[in-house]
Structure 1
Amino acid sequence: MRTLNKTLLTGQFSFPPNLEAGPYPDNLPERVLQFGEGNFLRAFVDWMIHQLNKKGLFQGRVVVVQPLAHGLVDQLNRQDGLYTLILRGYQDGQVVEKREIITSISRGINPYEDWQAVLRCAEDPQIDIVISNTTEAGIIYDPEDSITAAPPQSFPGKLTAYLYHRYNHFKGDPDKGMLILSCELIDRNGDNLKAITLRLAGEWGLPEGFQQWLKEANLFLNTLVDRVVPGYPREEAEQLARELGYEDALLDTGELFHLWVIEGPTHLKEKLPFHAAGLNVIWTDDLTPYRTRKVRILNGAHTATAALAFLSGVDTVREAVEHPRIGPFMEELIYNEVISVTDLDKRMLTEFAGEVLQRFRNPYIVHRWQSILLNTTSKYKTRVLPSLLDYAAKNKAVPAKLTFSLAAMAALFKDGRVNGRQFQGKGPQGDFIIEDDPGALAFWQAAWQQYQGTAESAQETAKYILGNSAIWGRDLNNVPGLAEKLGDYLQDIVSHGPAVALEKVLA
């Protein structure tokens, strides 16, 4: 069977009528540098740029930089940047499916093999936009980063080195700054990224002129993204290949719903005219309400349920929502423990929660918990912990479901071994691999070394987990009653299994 690539797209191949396969845009310049080549960005930002190009509103393509040493760039280049995106769901009460070959990516670069290729992009005056999604664990300060490394290890380190090269190449021209859009799901993502780049520039001893240029000539915008993207549909891949008539190793799937909230000057709408293409992109002077609503309800429900569902042998989000016990757990967590303490309009939050649960039930989206569990430790801190702390502060009590979700996440890492970023464990459906930050994996292993099979040692394990300020940002043992309840839940899950432990929580 043929493989999707430029030759296939520009040749005489007969694509199926329900697939939109436009011309290959050889004539469009590269205008965007994108850190991240995963399913989400390809089904979200790159799809949006493709829509702009189709309408002649942007006329530019994306260079993709692989953030980690191992990734999809080699396959992306084998397919000449092309991939098939399938969006499915309900629209105006009707079942809708859209299939399209996305052509907005020009090429991919692995910076660990060719850092100079990344720096050459800094010399291109037409590339003046940076977009990133390196997960919550990506925007971090790494004291080991160095300007002489090729490349620096962290994403902020790479970006700082990239901007310094651009500054030098264009001799500090203030018009050659970049528009930088962070899609990582952390609070004030653009502000945090800017702060780390400025810190690195200072610690690296880079010239004052560059630090001033970095601060004033570049726009680091805070953004919020929303689209459920399950990614590669492995169960359907063979059938879809037969229907499409070609193989696509980068086949991507997502829901129809999409929202991008960007906090920045509205005049930038003309630089990225998403509105003119009919896309759901909001420019605002304050994205805080949008972010709080989305992160705490949609992402919070995902992260709080992921380990429990996975340990219960439930594979997908839809199965969990429809599960007789996990479904009620998720709904009670959202309505009784998250919305009840979120300081926004309750009607708005309740309506959004209803929409979210409907999106979770989308029969055309196979969103696997195992993929949601990527970097789950940092996700819990960002998405779930704020609700837990707010509940405890406002109600002078520990929230049962949110605390149980932390116990389930801990239980996920109880038995297994660590290999770099991978935790290799055993679950109800056999061996599994979960990827997380190596420091987080070491933390979980050390936590379970406190456990000796007794209720007393479960309490010690709970205290160890909550006491790690480096992980959580504070010592959570100071939350009254949290350690005791967490210890009880840990002992229940380990001794009786997640199903029995969950029954007690629901009761």
Structure 2
Amino acid sequence: MKLNLSTLDHLAAHVRRPDYVPPQQACGIVHLGVGAFHRAHQAVYTDAAMNAGERDWRIMGVSLRSRSVHDQLTPQDGLYAVSTKSEAAPEVRVIGAIAGVLVAPDNPAAVVDALASTATQIVTLTVTEKGYHQSAGGGLDMNAPAIAADLTHLGATTIFGFLAAALHRRRQVSAGGLTLLSCDNMAENGNNLARSLNDFLEQYDPTLADWTRRNCSFPSSMVDRIVPATTDPDRTELRETSGLEDAGAVFTEPFSQWVIEDNFVGSRPGWEQHGAELVSDVAPYETAKLRMLNGAHSALAYLGLAKGLSLVSEAIADPELGPLAKRLMREEAATSFTPAPGQNLSHYADELEARFSNPALPHRLIQIAMDGSQKIPQRWLSTLSARQEAGRESPAILQALASWILYVRGTSCAVDDPMRDQLARTWQSAGQAGIASALFGRDGLFREHWIASEATLENLGNLVRTELT
């Protein structure tokens, strides 16, 4: 059975469907960067709000490049199924929150119309870090070709070009400001969006920049849910178990987290009634994710690969690696910062362990191991530094760091890292006796994150030499 509005009432009994009539609900949200993550995350929260009786919060999705999501969902009237996979039978839920998908390169005027509509109150974004065109020092990279083109021709190809055109029109017709809610996986995403948009508008129209600062808000948020790329076997399984022919199906884990700074200029869906957390400061939640979740993931990746393992679920089940990852989360990372009021780090660690152990959603260690030089400063070195300042040792992080040092040597497998060549040269020049200092000493390759304690640095070097022998 092909999924669309005409077949919605004929689905298998175990398939949940919207408790509202999707076409009868107006759009109150525009989402830039509609993809699998958005469909398994923000759209699910919004669908739940409308299931509970809230109205007119459907989402107009915008694809900034590809037609694939448009071509998947348009024949299905915007409907698609989200399947949560665990050791139990998957739960299947049809989402009706997406009203349609615009393809920006095909019809940029329609995107501006949607953003400028008086019905639109919130714009959410998942455009990846590249979509923000940030300079190395922060703020907008004015030399980026796409940014320069939008400013020169007053066009709309980047998120800033589209937002500038829409905000200009909203000011003209007194439509009011917008809540611009970044859901991208980067720290202080709201502040980054606000700064870069302001940089753009100051060149585009300084009076519009001033109007935007006074009429729009830029809440930060923290998002978390594993959403692997959908495969043909996934679609086949859905068809066989639920009778659904769904080109837009997404598959995910039961866990989902959305922490949002409570800073909205107008109304919003009651997302907090369906699992989201509205807080005054997102930063402690971002820190917990980086140091506890991401820190443990990276440790399992490098230590697991060294033992010939492939999946996170295998690594957390290992009698040596599992306890080490748990110690890193609970005893080291969780004690390295001050949590927000009501933020339960012990419960968070319980959730992480359950997620890591889920074999139904394979998460490959080699993927987590990619680009480690860009990740370990936030995931490990910040924890190490904070605990050193408090006079505490971090043996689990040091063990993980030694494993990464051995990994980037490149003798056991190909290294996928933007600093691969620099790391290889450092190994060649320093050798096993000096590699720890060459990387993390005062004048090392990672001098911005150098390990101040000589005893800790020596301990790290000893761990590397022990593993090599």
Task: Give the TM-score of the pair, scaled to structure 2.
Answer: 0.79
Residues 170 and 177 in structure 2, CA contact (< 8 A), matched pair in contact too? no
The reply to whether residue 305 of structure 1 matches residue 300 of structure 2 is yes
Identify the residue that residue 138 of structure 2 maps to in structure 1: none
**Cα distance in 2 for residues equivalent to 1:376 and 1:177:** 40
Q: Give, as a single letter, the amino acid of the residue that structure 1 aligns with 2:116.
A: E
**Cα distance in 2 for residues equivalent to 1:57 and 1:106:** 16
CA shift in 2, pair 1:12/1:57, >3 Å: closer
Compute the RMSD of aligned alpha carbons: 4.1
Identify the residue that residue 437 of structure 1 maps to in structure 2: none
Query: How far did 1:331 drift?
Result: 1.2
Q: 1:84 aligns with which of 65, 81, 88?
A: 81
**Cα distance in 2 for residues equivalent to 1:415 and 1:231:** 28
Deviations 1:359-384 (A, max 9, x none): 43345444444555576554444444
Any idea what SS the aligned residue of 2:23 has? coil
Identify the residue that residue 243 of structure 1 maps to in structure 2: 241
Any idea what SS the aligned residue of 1:31 has? strand
Query: How far did 1:387 drift?
Result: 1.2
Q: 2:271 aligns with which of 264, 274, 277?
A: 274
Identify the residue that residue 102 of structure 1 maps to in structure 2: 95
**Cα distance in 2 for residues equivalent to 1:167 and 1:29:** 20
**Cα distance in 2 for residues equivalent to 1:464 and 1:77:** 56
Query: How far did 1:389 drift?
Result: 2.0
Deviations 1:11-57 (A, max 9, x none): 48953221124487234333322233343322111111122233441
Q: Which has the higher strand share?
A: 1
Query: How far did 1:230 drift?
Result: 4.8
Q: 1:58 aligns with which of 34, 55, 66?
A: 55
Identify the residue that residue 480 of structure 1 maps to in structure 2: 453
Query: How far did 1:272 drift?
Result: 1.4
CA shift in 2, pair 1:62/1:462, >3 Å: same
Query: Which stretch of structure 1 is more off in the superposition, 183-192 or 319-328?
Result: 183-192
Q: Give, as a single letter, the amino acid of the residue that structure 1 aligns with 2:80.
A: Y
Query: Which stretch of structure 1 is more off in the superposition, 291-300 or 64-73?
Result: 64-73
**Cα distance in 2 for residues equivalent to 1:131 and 1:376:** 29
Query: How far did 1:223 drift?
Result: 1.9
Identify the residue that residue 193 of structure 2 maps to in structure 1: 193
Deviations 1:214-245 (A, max 9, x none): 21111100223344445637765533331122
CA shift in 2, pair 1:71/1:304, >3 Å: farther
Any idea what SS the aligned residue of 1:305 has? helix
Any idea what SS the aligned residue of 2:450 has? helix
The reply to whether residue 445 of structure 1 matches residue 421 of structure 2 is yes
Any idea what SS the aligned residue of 1:240 has? helix
Residues 128 and 179 in structure 1, CA contact (< 8 A), matched pair in contact too? yes
Query: How far did 1:162 drift?
Result: 2.0
**Cα distance in 1 for residues equivalent to 2:303 and 2:157:** 35
Residues 35 and 64 in structure 1, CA contact (< 8 A), matched pair in contact too? yes
Q: 2:356 aligns with which of 353, 360, 370?
A: 360
Any idea what SS the aligned residue of 1:85 has? strand
CA shift in 2, pair 1:386/1:356, >3 Å: same
Residues 261 and 281 in structure 1, CA contact (< 8 A), matched pair in contact too? yes
Deviations 1:167-187 (A, max 9, x none): 322345664321122223433
Query: How far did 1:353 drift?
Result: 1.8
Q: Give, as a single letter, the amino acid of the residue that structure 2 aligns with 1:98.
A: E
**Cα distance in 1 for residues equivalent to 2:298 and 2:74:** 33
Percent identity reads 22
The reply to whether residue 327 of structure 1 matches residue 333 of structure 2 is no
Any idea what SS the aligned residue of 2:219 has? strand
Query: How far did 1:101 drift?
Result: 1.7
Structure 2 unaligned runs (5+)?
136-140
Query: How far did 1:302 drift?
Result: 2.4
User: How is 1:329-478 mapped onto 2 (pairs within 5 angstroms)?
Assistant: 329-344=324-339, 348-362=344-358, 364-370=360-366, 372=368, 378-395=374-391, 399-409=394-404, 415=410, 426=413, 441-452=417-428, 454-456=431-433, 458-459=435-436, 462=439, 467=444, 475-477=448-450
Q: Give, as a single letter, the amino acid of the residue that structure 2 aligns with 1:207.
A: D
**Cα distance in 2 for residues equivalent to 1:375 and 1:14:** 46
**Cα distance in 1 for residues equivalent to 2:370 and 2:404:** 12
Residues 15 and 245 in structure 1, CA contact (< 8 A), matched pair in contact too? yes
Deviations 1:367-425 (A, max 9, x none): 4445555765544444443212212332375x343244345456656659xxxxxxxx9
CA shift in 2, pair 1:490/1:266, >3 Å: same
Query: How far did 1:286 drift?
Result: 3.0
**Cα distance in 1 for residues equivalent to 2:150 and 2:204:** 17
User: How is 1:123-202 mapped onto 2 (pairs within 5 angstroms)?
Assistant: 123-135=116-128, 139=132, 141-142=134-135, 143=141, 144-145=143-144, 146-149=146-149, 158-172=158-172, 175-202=175-202
Q: 1:28 aligns with which of 22, 25, 29?
A: 25
Structure 1 unaligned runs (5+)?
417-424, 435-440, 497-507
Q: 2:115 aligns with which of 119, 122, 130?
A: 122
Any idea what SS the aligned residue of 1:37 has? coil
Residues 315 and 322 in structure 2, CA contact (< 8 A), matched pair in contact too? yes
Residues 305 and 330 in structure 1, CA contact (< 8 A), matched pair in contact too? yes
Residues 127 and 184 in structure 2, CA contact (< 8 A), matched pair in contact too? yes
Q: Give, as a single letter, the amino acid of the residue that structure 2 aligns with 1:338.
A: A
Query: How far did 1:102 drift?
Result: 1.6
Q: Give, as a single letter, the amino acid of the residue that structure 1 aligns with 2:215.
A: A
CA shift in 2, pair 1:239/1:396, >3 Å: closer
